[in-house]
Amino acid sequence: SCPAEAITMIAAERKPEEKALYREEKYAATYEINMLRCIFCGLCEEACPKEAIYLDGPIVPSDYLRKDFIYGKDKLVEAPLEVK
> What strand order describes the sheet that includes 26-34?
7-13, 26-34, 70-71
Where exactly are the structural domains of the chain?
Answer: 7-76
Say which CATH class 7-76 falls into: alpha beta
What does each C-alpha distance from 68 to 16, 18, 22, 37, 48 come to in angstroms?
35, 30, 28, 13, 24
In this predicted structure, the answer to whether residue 2 has a pLDDT above a threshold of 90 is: yes
Tell me the whole-structure pTM to 2 decimals: 0.75
pLDDT digits (tens, 9 = 90+) for 8-56: 999 989 888 888 877 788 888 899 999 999 998 999 999 988 888 888 7
Q: What is the predicted pLDDT for the residue at 56? A: 78
